[in-house]
Structure 1
Amino acid sequence: MTDTTPTPRDVLLLANLGTPSAPTPEAVSRYLGEFLADPRVVQLPRLFWLPMLRLVVLPLRSRRVAHNYGEIWMDGGSPLEVHTRRLAAAVQPLLPGVHVEHVMRYGEPALTRRLRELRAEGARVLVLPLYPQYSTTTTASMADVIARELPAARMVEDYHVDPDWVRAVAESIRRHREHHGRGERLLFSFHGIPQRVVDQGDPYERQCHASARAIAAELGLADGEWQLTFQSRFGGGKWLSPATDATVRALAGEGVKRIDVVCPGFSADCLETLEEISMQNAGFFREAGGETLSYIPCLNDEPAHARAIAGLAQRGFDAWR
């Protein structure tokens, strides 16, 4: 007798961090409230941190952050959501037999809810966090959700030196420099995390350095032509260094007139790249005597990025079979 039971479909979830649903204080407060309440993100005692978050941090930050989002908002929504959605659409035709969609760890479309739905459907699910470098502050939070909602799902932990991804980033830098000229220095700016997290064994800093070295090698850059920095400090304590904002000011003070900045820890352009780097840090550089900070966009939905992500996913599904 022939078995007519349908085979559960393969589903790839491209998972990014998240974004507010609108550039308003209310939407930003909801998003930041979910994001900053995650104990993986802010590793402080809950009894101390949660009241401070609700009573102090959100009221003070939401209006300013909403204004910043308003500076970069796109017709289709937040840049992070738009570019992540487009990336999923670009990956889809490269994976016949796999259903590809995008989700967010915080905000919508919610990873938590989608995993619950797929559990009920009996789908075989591969989650690919769009964080090239692994960190307990980001990737591990997605693993927490998977373990809770769909333990049978699998996850790609990182791809910080994946050859296809490295080539895609390097090619995007070459292309940018061909069209916009070449700066005197190339900065690789990664999102920062507290130093104590690294001291506890988090591999993020090491993987960031490995990514930067691999991309620089692919470009054929000498050591003095590039450097690595960390951006987006939040709160007190010691964070990974050197800081991007301090570095761009220092370079300008040394007489450097033009620098290029790329952010290979971000898969899609977002507030931290479009506002913090391209606008805010460009202003810091000019104020300190520099002339041009040229921001090199994230890979977003570029074909080479889609191919690299599809290759990672295909290997993930192949290992399952």
Structure 2
Amino acid sequence: MRYWHPMSEAAARKIAAFRPDRIVLLPLYPQFSTTTTASSLAAWRSAAGAVGIAAPTHAVCCYPRAEGLVAAHAALIEPLLAAAAEAGEPRLLFSAHGLPKRVVARGDPYQWQVEETARRIVAGLGREALDWAVCYQSKVGPLAWLEPSIAEEIERAGRDRVPVVVVPVAFVSEHSETLVELDVTYRDHARAVGVPAYHRVPALGTHPSFISALADLSRGAFTASSVSGLDSGEGGRLCPGVHRCCPLAAQ
């Protein structure tokens, strides 16, 4: 892992000892960003080079609308929408880790991919006139970050007196940004501003549909013939051309 054990260097040493014929890199970031996926792949390349790994390597850069990813989210959301409806017509808040606006302005596709994931999930839920929004959390530092923030969306829900169902749309596992930020900090904030009910959808974890999606992506990567050794979960580029930092922009 990039930020916790086993780190890339430790994993590279074990993989070098295993002597694989081929390597697939499958990030657990469904949505690509230069600040996450790209930096993690760079860390792997550095670690692999340091221990002499020369096996052909193929990376999946993103999979923001993989069918299993979308299906898993929808399955986890449905029961909480039903629970929230006991307090009124619920609003679905897709919360993702934020980024400085200047990163996106340089062509990073992360915001577009997060919004694309949310759109696919909403379509998969099949509920007419569903009230939903994308928002961002975990801001640090003085720079302007993506908006609206989850705090702002919770305050809007408080003014509208609608219950909320919060979806960690860019986090696939539980950690401090779900268990503390979403479950404690923003639940308390929702209570303070008069939100009638606050429900948080679990991270995907080991949901069978999500694991099936990862398996499909892995099989596709092992059989890929891409010259670059890189593709999206759909093969070629899926980001609009304005996103110059898409890793498949040159293809």
What is the TM-score normalised by the length of structure 1? Answer: 0.64
Write the mapping of 1:61-210 to structure 2, written as runs, cut at 5 A: 104-123=1-20, 124-150=22-48, 152-178=56-82, 180-182=83-85, 184-210=90-116
Which structure is richer in relative contact order (CA contacts within 8 A, separation 6 or more)? 2
Q: 1:241 & 1:177 partners in 2: Cα distance? A: 24
Q: Which amino acid aligns with 1:219?
A: L
Q: 2:206 & 2:148 partners in 1: Cα distance? A: 30
Aligned to 2:168: 263
Shift of 1:175: 3.6
Q: 1:275 & 1:198 partners in 2: Cα distance? A: 26
Cα deviation code 1:249-288 (max 9, x no counterpart): 12102222x1110111001111111110121111111101
Q: Which has the higher helix share?
A: 1
Among 146, 153, 158, the alignment partner of 1:252 is 158
Q: Which amino acid aligns with 1:232?
A: S
Where in structure 2 are there 5+ consecutive unaligned residues?
Answer: 50-55, 227-251
Among 215, 238, 241, the alignment partner of 1:310 is 215
Where in structure 1 are there 5+ consecutive unaligned residues?
Answer: 1-103
Shift of 1:149: 2.9
Q: 2:171 & 2:90 partners in 1: Cα distance? A: 23
Q: 2:225 & 2:129 partners in 1: Cα distance? A: 40
Partner secondary structure for residue 198 of structure 2? strand
Partner secondary structure for residue 112 of structure 1? helix
Partner secondary structure for residue 126 of structure 1? strand
Q: 1:146 & 1:153 partners in 2: Cα distance? A: 11
Q: Which amino acid aligns with 1:155?
A: A
Q: How many aligned residue pairs are there?
A: 216
Is 1:294 paired with 2:160? no
- Mark the CA change 1:135 to 1:270 in structure 2 (over 3 Å): closer, same or farther: same
Greater radius of gyration (CA): 1
Q: Which amino acid aligns with 1:302?
A: H
What is the TM-score normalised by the length of structure 2? Answer: 0.80
Shift of 1:147: 2.3
Aligned to 1:235: 141
- Mark the CA change 1:224 to 1:305 in structure 2 (over 3 Å): closer, same or farther: closer
Root-mean-square deviation (CA, aligned residues, Å) is 1.8
Q: 1:307 & 1:121 partners in 2: Cα distance? A: 25
Q: 2:134 & 2:47 partners in 1: Cα distance? A: 37
Shift of 1:202: 0.5
Q: 1:191 & 1:259 partners in 2: Cα distance? A: 18
- Mark the CA change 1:300 to 1:126 in structure 2 (over 3 Å): closer, same or farther: same
